[in-house]
Chains A and B, each alone.
Chain A
Amino acid sequence: MDLFVSAVIQGVLLGGLFAIIGVGLSLVFGIMGLTNIAHGDIMILASFFIMVFSVQMGINLFVALAITIVVMVVIGAAMQKFLINRVITKGAEPALLVTFGISIIIQNILTLIFNADSRIIKGPFSDVNVVSTNWVSISAEYLMNCLVAVGVIIALSLVMKKTYLGRSIRAASSNVTAAEFMGVNTLKTYVYAMCIAVVTSCVAGLLVGQTFVFYPYSGTQYLIIAFGVVVIGGMGSIVGTLLGGLILGVSQLLGALFFGNGYMILIGYIVMLVLLTFRPRGLLSNMARK
Protein backbone atom coordinates (compact mmCIF):
# COMPACT_ATOMS: atom_id res chain seq x y z
CA MET A 1 0.00 0.00 0.00
CA ASP A 2 2.77 2.43 0.94
CA LEU A 3 4.58 1.70 -2.26
CA PHE A 4 1.38 2.15 -4.20
CA VAL A 5 0.66 5.59 -2.72
CA SER A 6 4.25 6.55 -3.27
CA ALA A 7 4.13 5.45 -6.91
CA VAL A 8 0.93 7.40 -7.54
CA ILE A 9 2.38 10.57 -6.00
CA GLN A 10 5.61 10.25 -7.96
CA GLY A 11 3.58 9.50 -11.07
CA VAL A 12 1.51 12.65 -10.68
CA LEU A 13 4.67 14.73 -10.20
CA LEU A 14 6.32 13.12 -13.22
CA GLY A 15 3.07 13.62 -15.14
CA GLY A 16 3.28 17.37 -14.68
CA LEU A 17 6.71 17.32 -16.27
CA PHE A 18 5.41 15.15 -19.13
CA ALA A 19 2.58 17.61 -19.68
CA ILE A 20 4.89 20.55 -20.24
CA ILE A 21 7.01 18.44 -22.56
CA GLY A 22 3.90 17.77 -24.65
CA VAL A 23 2.06 21.08 -24.55
CA GLY A 24 4.01 22.77 -27.36
CA LEU A 25 3.49 19.80 -29.66
CA SER A 26 -0.23 19.93 -28.96
CA LEU A 27 -0.44 23.67 -29.59
CA VAL A 28 1.36 23.45 -32.93
CA PHE A 29 -0.71 20.46 -34.01
CA GLY A 30 -3.93 22.20 -32.95
CA ILE A 31 -3.31 25.32 -35.00
CA MET A 32 -1.59 24.07 -38.14
CA GLY A 33 -2.24 20.35 -38.16
CA LEU A 34 1.51 19.87 -38.13
CA THR A 35 3.21 17.09 -36.20
CA ASN A 36 6.47 18.75 -35.28
CA ILE A 37 9.03 15.93 -35.39
CA ALA A 38 11.70 18.36 -34.14
CA HIS A 39 9.71 19.13 -30.98
CA GLY A 40 11.89 17.04 -28.65
CA ASP A 41 15.09 18.27 -30.27
CA ILE A 42 14.05 21.89 -29.83
CA MET A 43 13.59 21.18 -26.14
CA ILE A 44 16.98 19.47 -25.85
CA LEU A 45 18.58 22.34 -27.79
CA ALA A 46 17.17 24.64 -25.10
CA SER A 47 18.63 22.32 -22.43
CA PHE A 48 22.07 22.67 -24.04
CA PHE A 49 21.80 26.46 -24.23
CA ILE A 50 20.82 26.64 -20.56
CA MET A 51 23.64 24.24 -19.71
CA VAL A 52 26.20 26.36 -21.58
CA PHE A 53 25.00 29.63 -20.05
CA SER A 54 24.60 28.39 -16.49
CA VAL A 55 27.12 25.56 -16.03
CA GLN A 56 29.88 26.60 -18.42
CA MET A 57 29.57 30.39 -18.25
CA GLY A 58 28.39 30.54 -14.65
CA ILE A 59 25.37 32.73 -15.29
CA ASN A 60 22.51 32.56 -12.79
CA LEU A 61 20.12 29.77 -13.77
CA PHE A 62 17.06 31.98 -14.24
CA VAL A 63 18.99 34.56 -16.25
CA ALA A 64 20.30 31.67 -18.34
CA LEU A 65 16.72 30.54 -18.94
CA ALA A 66 15.71 34.07 -19.94
CA ILE A 67 18.59 34.37 -22.43
CA THR A 68 17.79 30.92 -23.79
CA ILE A 69 14.15 31.86 -24.30
CA VAL A 70 15.18 34.92 -26.32
CA VAL A 71 17.62 32.93 -28.47
CA MET A 72 15.20 30.04 -28.97
CA VAL A 73 12.28 32.31 -29.89
CA VAL A 74 14.42 33.86 -32.61
CA ILE A 75 15.37 30.38 -33.86
CA GLY A 76 11.77 29.16 -33.66
CA ALA A 77 10.34 32.20 -35.42
CA ALA A 78 12.93 31.93 -38.21
CA MET A 79 12.25 28.21 -38.58
CA GLN A 80 8.50 28.83 -38.88
CA LYS A 81 8.73 31.88 -41.12
CA PHE A 82 11.41 30.77 -43.54
CA LEU A 83 10.98 26.99 -43.60
CA ILE A 84 7.62 25.69 -42.39
CA ASN A 85 5.40 28.56 -43.62
CA ARG A 86 6.79 28.07 -47.12
CA VAL A 87 5.27 24.61 -47.35
CA ILE A 88 2.42 24.58 -44.82
CA THR A 89 -0.15 25.87 -47.33
CA LYS A 90 0.53 22.76 -49.41
CA GLY A 91 -0.64 20.52 -46.58
CA ALA A 92 0.76 19.03 -43.39
CA GLU A 93 2.95 16.30 -44.95
CA PRO A 94 5.60 18.47 -46.64
CA ALA A 95 5.85 20.50 -43.43
CA LEU A 96 6.27 17.29 -41.42
CA LEU A 97 9.23 16.36 -43.62
CA VAL A 98 10.73 19.80 -43.04
CA THR A 99 10.55 19.31 -39.28
CA PHE A 100 12.10 15.87 -39.71
CA GLY A 101 15.01 17.59 -41.44
CA ILE A 102 15.25 20.20 -38.68
CA SER A 103 15.37 17.37 -36.13
CA ILE A 104 18.34 15.73 -37.87
CA ILE A 105 20.15 19.05 -38.22
CA ILE A 106 19.74 19.92 -34.52
CA GLN A 107 20.91 16.47 -33.39
CA ASN A 108 23.97 16.57 -35.63
CA ILE A 109 24.99 20.12 -34.77
CA LEU A 110 24.70 19.29 -31.06
CA THR A 111 26.79 16.13 -31.51
CA LEU A 112 29.39 18.07 -33.50
CA ILE A 113 29.80 20.68 -30.78
CA PHE A 114 29.21 18.71 -27.59
CA ASN A 115 30.15 15.13 -28.59
CA ALA A 116 27.93 12.33 -27.38
CA ASP A 117 28.69 12.96 -23.70
CA SER A 118 25.94 13.01 -21.10
CA ARG A 119 25.12 16.37 -19.54
CA ILE A 120 23.06 17.66 -16.66
CA ILE A 121 22.06 21.10 -15.47
CA LYS A 122 22.66 21.56 -11.78
CA GLY A 123 19.50 22.92 -10.26
CA PRO A 124 18.93 24.45 -6.84
CA PHE A 125 16.87 21.51 -5.61
CA SER A 126 18.89 18.44 -6.54
CA ASP A 127 18.92 15.85 -3.77
CA VAL A 128 16.54 17.74 -1.49
CA ASN A 129 13.41 16.04 -0.20
CA VAL A 130 10.45 18.08 0.93
CA VAL A 131 8.67 15.12 2.47
CA SER A 132 10.70 12.25 3.72
CA THR A 133 8.98 9.64 5.85
CA ASN A 134 9.42 5.93 6.04
CA TRP A 135 6.79 5.22 3.47
CA VAL A 136 6.83 8.14 1.09
CA SER A 137 9.37 10.68 -0.01
CA ILE A 138 8.87 13.54 -2.40
CA SER A 139 11.88 15.13 -3.98
CA ALA A 140 11.87 18.90 -4.12
CA GLU A 141 12.96 18.70 -7.71
CA TYR A 142 9.99 16.62 -8.86
CA LEU A 143 7.59 18.79 -6.90
CA MET A 144 9.13 21.90 -8.42
CA ASN A 145 8.89 20.41 -11.92
CA CYS A 146 5.25 19.65 -11.47
CA LEU A 147 4.34 23.04 -9.99
CA VAL A 148 6.20 24.98 -12.67
CA ALA A 149 4.69 22.84 -15.42
CA VAL A 150 1.16 23.22 -14.13
CA GLY A 151 1.72 26.96 -13.67
CA VAL A 152 2.97 27.40 -17.24
CA ILE A 153 0.08 25.38 -18.66
CA ILE A 154 -2.51 27.36 -16.69
CA ALA A 155 -0.89 30.62 -17.80
CA LEU A 156 -0.91 29.39 -21.38
CA SER A 157 -4.57 28.45 -21.30
CA LEU A 158 -5.40 31.90 -19.87
CA VAL A 159 -3.47 33.54 -22.69
CA MET A 160 -5.42 31.42 -25.17
CA LYS A 161 -8.71 32.41 -23.62
CA LYS A 162 -8.30 36.03 -22.62
CA THR A 163 -6.02 37.71 -25.13
CA TYR A 164 -6.44 38.65 -28.77
CA LEU A 165 -3.27 36.71 -29.55
CA GLY A 166 -4.74 33.58 -28.00
CA ARG A 167 -8.13 34.07 -29.58
CA SER A 168 -6.60 34.58 -33.02
CA ILE A 169 -4.63 31.35 -32.59
CA ARG A 170 -7.81 29.50 -31.64
CA ALA A 171 -9.70 31.10 -34.50
CA ALA A 172 -7.02 30.02 -36.96
CA SER A 173 -7.15 26.47 -35.52
CA SER A 174 -10.90 26.42 -35.93
CA ASN A 175 -11.18 27.80 -39.47
CA VAL A 176 -8.28 29.34 -41.40
CA THR A 177 -10.38 31.08 -44.05
CA ALA A 178 -12.81 32.52 -41.51
CA ALA A 179 -9.85 33.77 -39.44
CA GLU A 180 -8.44 35.52 -42.51
CA PHE A 181 -11.90 37.06 -43.03
CA MET A 182 -11.49 38.66 -39.59
CA GLY A 183 -8.25 40.24 -40.77
CA VAL A 184 -6.00 37.69 -39.07
CA ASN A 185 -2.85 36.99 -41.07
CA THR A 186 -2.76 33.27 -40.32
CA LEU A 187 0.84 32.82 -41.46
CA LYS A 188 1.92 35.36 -38.84
CA THR A 189 -0.30 33.62 -36.31
CA TYR A 190 1.60 30.38 -37.03
CA VAL A 191 4.85 32.17 -36.22
CA TYR A 192 3.43 33.43 -32.91
CA ALA A 193 2.11 29.97 -32.04
CA MET A 194 5.49 28.40 -32.77
CA CYS A 195 7.17 31.01 -30.56
CA ILE A 196 4.81 30.21 -27.69
CA ALA A 197 5.46 26.49 -28.18
CA VAL A 198 9.21 27.17 -28.12
CA VAL A 199 8.92 29.12 -24.86
CA THR A 200 7.16 26.17 -23.21
CA SER A 201 9.90 23.93 -24.60
CA CYS A 202 12.57 26.13 -23.02
CA VAL A 203 10.94 25.75 -19.61
CA ALA A 204 10.57 22.01 -20.25
CA GLY A 205 14.22 21.92 -21.34
CA LEU A 206 15.31 23.42 -18.02
CA LEU A 207 13.17 21.06 -15.95
CA VAL A 208 14.20 17.96 -17.90
CA GLY A 209 17.83 19.04 -17.99
CA GLN A 210 18.11 19.36 -14.24
CA THR A 211 16.20 16.15 -13.53
CA PHE A 212 17.69 13.69 -16.03
CA VAL A 213 20.97 13.48 -17.92
CA PHE A 214 20.64 14.39 -21.58
CA TYR A 215 22.57 13.76 -24.80
CA PRO A 216 22.45 15.43 -28.21
CA TYR A 217 20.15 12.60 -29.32
CA SER A 218 17.76 12.71 -26.35
CA GLY A 219 15.17 14.72 -28.26
CA THR A 220 13.65 11.66 -29.91
CA GLN A 221 12.98 10.02 -26.57
CA TYR A 222 11.13 13.13 -25.36
CA LEU A 223 9.26 13.43 -28.66
CA ILE A 224 7.83 9.98 -27.93
CA ILE A 225 6.77 11.08 -24.44
CA ALA A 226 5.20 14.21 -25.92
CA PHE A 227 3.34 12.05 -28.43
CA GLY A 228 1.95 9.86 -25.65
CA VAL A 229 0.81 12.87 -23.64
CA VAL A 230 -0.82 14.60 -26.57
CA VAL A 231 -2.47 11.49 -27.98
CA ILE A 232 -3.98 10.58 -24.61
CA GLY A 233 -5.05 14.13 -23.78
CA GLY A 234 -6.36 14.98 -27.22
CA MET A 235 -4.47 16.74 -30.00
CA GLY A 236 -4.82 20.50 -29.71
CA SER A 237 -6.24 20.63 -26.20
CA ILE A 238 -4.05 22.49 -23.71
CA VAL A 239 -5.81 21.22 -20.59
CA GLY A 240 -5.84 17.77 -22.22
CA THR A 241 -2.03 17.68 -22.15
CA LEU A 242 -2.15 18.07 -18.38
CA LEU A 243 -4.51 15.13 -18.11
CA GLY A 244 -2.48 13.12 -20.64
CA GLY A 245 0.72 13.82 -18.73
CA LEU A 246 -0.78 12.69 -15.44
CA ILE A 247 -2.18 9.48 -16.91
CA LEU A 248 1.08 8.62 -18.65
CA GLY A 249 3.15 9.46 -15.56
CA VAL A 250 1.01 7.50 -13.11
CA SER A 251 0.65 4.47 -15.39
CA GLN A 252 4.42 4.35 -15.98
CA LEU A 253 5.22 4.35 -12.28
CA LEU A 254 2.47 1.89 -11.39
CA GLY A 255 3.73 -0.28 -14.24
CA ALA A 256 7.21 -0.11 -12.75
CA LEU A 257 5.81 -1.01 -9.33
CA PHE A 258 3.86 -4.06 -10.45
CA PHE A 259 5.99 -5.38 -13.29
CA GLY A 260 9.45 -4.00 -12.62
CA ASN A 261 11.37 -0.99 -13.91
CA GLY A 262 12.03 -2.55 -17.28
CA TYR A 263 8.33 -2.49 -18.12
CA MET A 264 7.70 1.10 -17.07
CA ILE A 265 7.66 2.68 -20.54
CA LEU A 266 5.86 -0.27 -22.10
CA ILE A 267 3.01 -0.12 -19.57
CA GLY A 268 2.61 3.61 -20.14
CA TYR A 269 2.05 3.07 -23.84
CA ILE A 270 -0.21 0.05 -23.33
CA VAL A 271 -2.45 2.29 -21.23
CA MET A 272 -2.34 4.80 -24.07
CA LEU A 273 -3.46 2.15 -26.58
CA VAL A 274 -6.30 1.01 -24.32
CA LEU A 275 -7.52 4.60 -23.89
CA LEU A 276 -7.32 5.14 -27.63
CA THR A 277 -9.55 2.13 -28.19
CA PHE A 278 -12.31 3.88 -26.26
CA ARG A 279 -11.53 7.50 -27.09
CA PRO A 280 -9.80 7.48 -30.48
CA ARG A 281 -9.42 11.27 -30.52
CA GLY A 282 -8.04 11.50 -27.02
CA LEU A 283 -9.78 12.45 -23.81
CA LEU A 284 -10.27 16.17 -24.36
CA SER A 285 -9.94 16.62 -28.07
CA ASN A 286 -11.35 19.73 -29.68
CA MET A 287 -10.88 18.24 -33.12
CA ALA A 288 -14.13 16.26 -33.06
CA ARG A 289 -15.67 18.07 -35.99
CA LYS A 290 -12.71 17.59 -38.31
Chain B
Amino acid sequence: MKLEGLDVFYGDFQALYGVSMEIPKGKIVSIIGANGSGKSTLLNTIMGVNRPKAGTIDFEGKDITRLRTSDIVALGVTISPEGSSVFEDMSIEENLLMGAYLPDPRKRRQENLARVYELFPVLKEKEQQLATFLSGGQRQMLAIARAIMSEPKLLICDEISLGLAPVVVKDIYRKIREINEMGVTILLVEQEVKRSLQSSDFSYVMVKGRVVMQGLSAALPETEVKDAYLGINKYA
Protein backbone atom coordinates (compact mmCIF):
# COMPACT_ATOMS: atom_id res chain seq x y z
CA MET B 1 0.00 0.00 0.00
CA LYS B 2 1.18 3.48 -0.83
CA LEU B 3 -0.08 6.73 0.70
CA GLU B 4 0.84 9.95 -0.99
CA GLY B 5 0.50 13.52 0.24
CA LEU B 6 -2.65 13.01 2.30
CA ASP B 7 -4.27 16.18 3.62
CA VAL B 8 -7.30 15.60 5.84
CA PHE B 9 -9.52 18.26 7.41
CA TYR B 10 -12.23 18.23 10.06
CA GLY B 11 -14.07 21.39 9.11
CA ASP B 12 -11.41 24.13 9.29
CA PHE B 13 -9.05 22.04 11.36
CA GLN B 14 -6.33 20.27 9.42
CA ALA B 15 -5.59 16.87 10.96
CA LEU B 16 -3.10 15.46 8.44
CA TYR B 17 -0.43 17.37 6.51
CA GLY B 18 0.91 15.70 3.38
CA VAL B 19 1.28 12.25 4.91
CA SER B 20 3.13 9.81 2.65
CA MET B 21 3.95 6.23 3.57
CA GLU B 22 4.78 2.94 1.99
CA ILE B 23 3.69 -0.40 3.42
CA PRO B 24 5.50 -3.14 1.51
CA LYS B 25 3.84 -6.49 0.94
CA GLY B 26 4.57 -9.15 3.53
CA LYS B 27 6.20 -6.75 6.01
CA ILE B 28 5.21 -5.42 9.41
CA VAL B 29 5.10 -1.63 9.45
CA SER B 30 4.38 0.41 12.55
CA ILE B 31 3.06 3.92 13.00
CA ILE B 32 4.06 5.43 16.33
CA GLY B 33 2.39 8.52 17.72
CA ALA B 34 0.82 10.02 20.81
CA ASN B 35 -2.86 10.89 21.21
CA GLY B 36 -3.80 13.56 18.72
CA SER B 37 -0.89 12.80 16.39
CA GLY B 38 -3.31 11.91 13.62
CA LYS B 39 -2.92 8.12 13.72
CA SER B 40 -6.62 7.40 14.01
CA THR B 41 -7.45 9.98 11.38
CA LEU B 42 -4.97 8.31 9.07
CA LEU B 43 -6.51 4.87 9.65
CA ASN B 44 -10.00 6.21 9.10
CA THR B 45 -8.81 7.79 5.88
CA ILE B 46 -7.24 4.55 4.65
CA MET B 47 -10.50 2.73 5.46
CA GLY B 48 -12.65 5.28 3.64
CA VAL B 49 -14.37 6.63 6.75
CA ASN B 50 -12.74 10.05 6.27
CA ARG B 51 -12.13 11.60 2.88
CA PRO B 52 -8.81 13.35 2.15
CA LYS B 53 -8.85 16.79 0.58
CA ALA B 54 -5.65 15.99 -1.30
CA GLY B 55 -3.46 12.94 -1.85
CA THR B 56 -3.97 9.37 -2.96
CA ILE B 57 -4.12 5.92 -1.44
CA ASP B 58 -3.01 3.08 -3.62
CA PHE B 59 -3.42 -0.61 -2.83
CA GLU B 60 -1.84 -3.21 -5.10
CA GLY B 61 -1.80 -0.76 -7.97
CA LYS B 62 -5.44 0.28 -7.51
CA ASP B 63 -6.48 3.77 -6.43
CA ILE B 64 -8.75 3.26 -3.41
CA THR B 65 -8.89 6.89 -2.24
CA ARG B 66 -12.59 7.40 -3.01
CA LEU B 67 -13.89 3.88 -2.49
CA ARG B 68 -16.62 2.98 -0.04
CA THR B 69 -15.40 1.31 3.19
CA SER B 70 -17.02 -2.03 2.37
CA ASP B 71 -15.40 -2.02 -1.10
CA ILE B 72 -11.97 -1.31 0.39
CA VAL B 73 -12.46 -4.26 2.74
CA ALA B 74 -13.50 -6.40 -0.22
CA LEU B 75 -10.09 -5.70 -1.82
CA GLY B 76 -8.34 -7.28 1.16
CA VAL B 77 -7.68 -4.37 3.52
CA THR B 78 -9.05 -5.21 6.97
CA ILE B 79 -8.83 -3.31 10.21
CA SER B 80 -8.95 -4.66 13.72
CA PRO B 81 -10.45 -1.58 15.33
CA GLU B 82 -10.07 -0.66 18.98
CA GLY B 83 -11.76 -3.28 21.18
CA SER B 84 -15.01 -1.43 21.71
CA SER B 85 -16.23 -2.26 18.22
CA VAL B 86 -17.13 -5.94 18.63
CA PHE B 87 -20.82 -6.66 18.01
CA GLU B 88 -21.98 -6.67 21.62
CA ASP B 89 -25.27 -8.49 21.24
CA MET B 90 -23.86 -11.26 19.07
CA SER B 91 -22.06 -14.37 20.29
CA ILE B 92 -18.32 -14.84 19.80
CA GLU B 93 -19.01 -17.30 17.02
CA GLU B 94 -21.41 -14.92 15.28
CA ASN B 95 -18.86 -12.11 15.55
CA LEU B 96 -16.27 -14.34 13.91
CA LEU B 97 -18.71 -15.41 11.20
CA MET B 98 -19.38 -11.74 10.46
CA GLY B 99 -15.64 -11.45 9.84
CA ALA B 100 -16.08 -13.97 7.04
CA TYR B 101 -18.94 -11.99 5.48
CA LEU B 102 -17.35 -11.49 2.05
CA PRO B 103 -18.06 -14.23 -0.53
CA ASP B 104 -14.58 -15.78 -0.74
CA PRO B 105 -13.80 -16.11 2.98
CA ARG B 106 -17.41 -17.16 3.55
CA LYS B 107 -16.80 -20.32 1.53
CA ARG B 108 -13.90 -21.23 3.81
CA ARG B 109 -15.44 -20.03 7.07
CA GLN B 110 -15.29 -23.39 8.84
CA GLU B 111 -11.56 -23.86 8.16
CA ASN B 112 -10.88 -20.26 9.14
CA LEU B 113 -12.94 -20.63 12.29
CA ALA B 114 -10.85 -23.64 13.29
CA ARG B 115 -7.70 -21.67 12.51
CA VAL B 116 -8.56 -18.66 14.68
CA TYR B 117 -9.70 -20.92 17.51
CA GLU B 118 -6.29 -22.56 17.34
CA LEU B 119 -4.71 -19.11 17.50
CA PHE B 120 -6.98 -17.92 20.33
CA PRO B 121 -8.19 -20.98 22.30
CA VAL B 122 -9.96 -18.76 24.86
CA LEU B 123 -12.44 -17.71 22.16
CA LYS B 124 -13.30 -21.33 21.47
CA GLU B 125 -14.16 -21.86 25.13
CA LYS B 126 -16.57 -18.94 25.09
CA GLU B 127 -17.88 -19.57 21.57
CA GLN B 128 -21.58 -19.21 22.46
CA GLN B 129 -21.28 -16.29 24.90
CA LEU B 130 -22.31 -12.79 23.96
CA ALA B 131 -19.38 -10.51 23.18
CA THR B 132 -20.65 -8.00 25.72
CA PHE B 133 -19.46 -10.30 28.54
CA LEU B 134 -15.84 -10.40 27.37
CA SER B 135 -12.96 -8.70 29.17
CA GLY B 136 -10.92 -5.99 27.45
CA GLY B 137 -8.19 -8.40 26.41
CA GLN B 138 -10.65 -10.95 25.10
CA ARG B 139 -12.41 -8.26 23.06
CA GLN B 140 -9.10 -7.29 21.54
CA MET B 141 -8.48 -10.93 20.63
CA LEU B 142 -11.96 -11.22 19.19
CA ALA B 143 -11.44 -8.11 17.08
CA ILE B 144 -8.18 -9.48 15.69
CA ALA B 145 -9.61 -12.97 15.17
CA ARG B 146 -12.64 -11.47 13.41
CA ALA B 147 -10.32 -9.50 11.14
CA ILE B 148 -8.34 -12.63 10.27
CA MET B 149 -11.59 -14.40 9.33
CA SER B 150 -11.80 -12.10 6.31
CA GLU B 151 -8.50 -13.51 4.93
CA PRO B 152 -6.94 -10.04 4.64
CA LYS B 153 -3.96 -9.20 2.50
CA LEU B 154 -3.26 -6.19 4.71
CA LEU B 155 -4.26 -6.28 8.38
CA ILE B 156 -4.34 -2.97 10.24
CA CYS B 157 -4.18 -3.24 14.04
CA ASP B 158 -5.35 -0.14 15.85
CA GLU B 159 -3.78 0.22 19.32
CA ILE B 160 -4.08 -3.42 20.20
CA SER B 161 -2.05 -2.97 23.40
CA LEU B 162 -4.19 -0.15 24.79
CA GLY B 163 -5.32 -0.85 28.34
CA LEU B 164 -4.16 -4.46 28.37
CA ALA B 165 -1.97 -6.32 30.85
CA PRO B 166 1.64 -6.69 29.63
CA VAL B 167 1.40 -10.50 29.54
CA VAL B 168 -1.65 -10.29 27.28
CA VAL B 169 0.05 -7.74 25.05
CA LYS B 170 3.07 -9.96 24.67
CA ASP B 171 0.81 -12.83 23.74
CA ILE B 172 -1.10 -10.80 21.18
CA TYR B 173 2.12 -9.59 19.56
CA ARG B 174 3.30 -13.15 19.22
CA LYS B 175 0.04 -13.95 17.42
CA ILE B 176 0.56 -10.96 15.13
CA ARG B 177 3.96 -12.32 14.19
CA GLU B 178 2.38 -15.72 13.43
CA ILE B 179 -0.24 -14.09 11.26
CA ASN B 180 2.47 -12.18 9.41
CA GLU B 181 4.34 -15.41 8.79
CA MET B 182 1.25 -16.74 7.02
CA GLY B 183 1.89 -14.01 4.44
CA VAL B 184 -0.31 -11.18 5.72
CA THR B 185 1.07 -7.64 5.57
CA ILE B 186 0.62 -5.92 8.94
CA LEU B 187 0.22 -2.26 9.80
CA LEU B 188 0.59 -1.71 13.55
CA VAL B 189 -0.56 1.54 15.08
CA GLU B 190 0.72 2.10 18.59
CA GLN B 191 1.60 4.56 21.29
CA GLU B 192 4.25 2.34 22.78
CA VAL B 193 7.64 3.13 21.24
CA LYS B 194 9.74 0.20 22.37
CA ARG B 195 7.33 -2.55 21.48
CA SER B 196 6.54 -1.01 18.10
CA LEU B 197 10.19 -0.80 17.13
CA GLN B 198 10.84 -4.34 18.34
CA SER B 199 7.98 -5.94 16.53
CA SER B 200 8.11 -4.22 13.14
CA ASP B 201 10.34 -4.08 10.09
CA PHE B 202 9.78 -0.43 9.30
CA SER B 203 8.45 2.47 11.39
CA TYR B 204 6.93 5.88 10.92
CA VAL B 205 6.69 8.41 13.74
CA MET B 206 3.84 10.91 13.59
CA VAL B 207 3.52 14.20 15.45
CA LYS B 208 0.64 16.63 15.00
CA GLY B 209 -0.49 15.20 11.70
CA ARG B 210 2.93 14.94 10.09
CA VAL B 211 5.41 12.13 9.57
CA VAL B 212 8.52 13.41 11.38
CA MET B 213 10.70 10.34 11.30
CA GLN B 214 10.87 7.09 9.40
CA GLY B 215 13.24 4.22 8.83
CA LEU B 216 14.03 0.58 9.42
CA SER B 217 12.80 -0.19 12.93
CA ALA B 218 16.09 -1.77 13.90
CA ALA B 219 17.98 1.33 12.81
CA LEU B 220 15.82 3.92 14.56
CA PRO B 221 17.28 4.97 17.91
CA GLU B 222 14.66 4.55 20.61
CA THR B 223 15.54 7.73 22.50
CA GLU B 224 15.22 9.89 19.42
CA VAL B 225 11.89 8.32 18.53
CA LYS B 226 10.72 9.05 22.06
CA ASP B 227 11.84 12.67 21.79
CA ALA B 228 10.05 12.99 18.50
CA TYR B 229 6.98 11.27 19.89
CA LEU B 230 6.87 13.64 22.84
CA GLY B 231 7.34 16.57 20.53
CA ILE B 232 10.67 17.59 22.08
CA ASN B 233 12.76 20.33 20.39
CA LYS B 234 13.40 19.94 16.68
CA TYR B 235 10.36 17.77 15.96
CA ALA B 236 7.78 20.03 17.54
Report A's interface with B, CB cutoff 8 A: 164, 167-168, 170-171, 174-175, 177-186, 286, 289
Shortest CB-to-CB span from B5 to chain A, Å, is: 25
Knowing A167-B97, A183-B102, A184-B101 are in contact, say whether A178-B85 is a contact too (CB < 8 A). yes
Is there contact, CB below 8 Å, between A182 and B49? Answer: no
Shortest CB-to-CB span from B227 to chain A, Å, is: 34
Q: Which of B70-78, B160-168, B218-226 contacts A (4 or more CB under 8 A)?
A: B70-78
B99 within 8 A of A: yes
Q: Could you name 24 residue pairs across A and B whose Cβ atoms are closer than 8 Å?
A: A164-B106, A167-B90, A167-B94, A167-B98, A167-B101, A174-B87, A174-B88, A175-B87, A177-B85, A178-B81, A178-B85, A181-B69, A181-B73, A181-B79, A182-B99, A182-B101, A182-B102, A183-B73, A183-B101, A184-B98, A184-B101, A185-B68, A185-B71, A289-B88
- The 4 A-B pairs with the shortest beta carbon distances in the complex, nearest first, are A180-B69, A183-B73, A178-B85, A185-B70
Residues in chain A near residue B90, CB distance under 8 A: 167, 170-171, 174
- The CA of A183 and the CA of B152, in the complex, are separated in Å by 11
Residues in chain A near residue B71, CB distance under 8 A: 185
Is there contact, CB below 8 Å, between A182 and B89? Answer: no
Residues in chain A near residue B65, CB distance under 8 A: none
- The CA of A177 and the CA of B43, in the complex, are separated in Å by 13
User: A182 is contacted by which of B68, B88, B150 (Cβ under 8 Å)?
Assistant: B150
Residues in chain B near residue A179, CB distance under 8 A: 98
Knowing A171-B87, A174-B90, A175-B87 are in contact, say whether A180-B98 is a contact too (CB < 8 A). no
Is there contact, CB below 8 Å, between B150 and A174? Answer: no
Closest to A166 in B: B94
Knowing A164-B101, A164-B106 are in contact, say whether A178-B69 is a contact too (CB < 8 A). no
Residues in chain A near residue B141, CB distance under 8 A: none
Shortest CB-to-CB span from A82 to chain B, Å, is: 18
- The CA of A184 and the CA of B101, in the complex, are separated in Å by 7
- The CA of A185 and the CA of B74, in the complex, are separated in Å by 10
Shortest CB-to-CB span from A147 to chain B, Å, is: 29
Residues in chain B near residue A178, CB distance under 8 A: 81, 85-87
Shortest CB-to-CB span from A81 to chain B, Å, is: 15
Within 8 A of A (CB), among B122-174: 146, 150
B176 within 8 A of A: no
- The CA of A179 and the CA of B47, in the complex, are separated in Å by 12
For the side of the interface on B, what is the size category? Answer: 20 to 34
Shortest CB-to-CB span from A30 to chain B, Å, is: 11
- The CA of A14 and the CA of B178, in the complex, are separated in Å by 59
Knowing A182-B150, A183-B73, A184-B70 are in contact, say whether A168-B89 is a contact too (CB < 8 A). no
- The CA of A167 and the CA of B88, in the complex, are separated in Å by 13
Shortest CB-to-CB span from A217 to chain B, Å, is: 38
Residues in chain B near residue A180, CB distance under 8 A: 49, 68-70, 73
Beyond known contacts A170-B87, A183-B150: 13 more, CB 8 A cutoff: A167-B90, A170-B90, A175-B87, A178-B85, A180-B73, A181-B69, A182-B98, A182-B101, A182-B102, A182-B146, A184-B101, A185-B71, A286-B89
Closest to A178 in B: B85
Most B-side CB within 10 Å, residue of A171, A177, A181: A181
Is there contact, CB below 8 Å, between A182 and B85? Answer: no
Is there contact, CB below 8 Å, between B81 and A181? Answer: yes
- The CA of A167 and the CA of B131, in the complex, are separated in Å by 14
Knowing A174-B87, A177-B85 are in contact, say whether A183-B70 is a contact too (CB < 8 A). yes
Shortest CB-to-CB span from A164 to chain B, Å, is: 7
Residues in chain B near residue A167, CB distance under 8 A: 90, 94, 97-98, 101
- The CA of A181 and the CA of B70, in the complex, are separated in Å by 6
Residues in chain A near residue B81, CB distance under 8 A: 177-178, 181
User: A181 is contacted by which of B85, B94, B97, B106 (Cβ under 8 Å)?
Assistant: B85
Closest to B106 in A: A164
Shortest CB-to-CB span from A284 to chain B, Å, is: 12
Closest to B102 in A: A183
- The CA of A122 and the CA of B62, in the complex, are separated in Å by 60
Shortest CB-to-CB span from B139 to chain A, Å, is: 12
Closest to A289 in B: B88
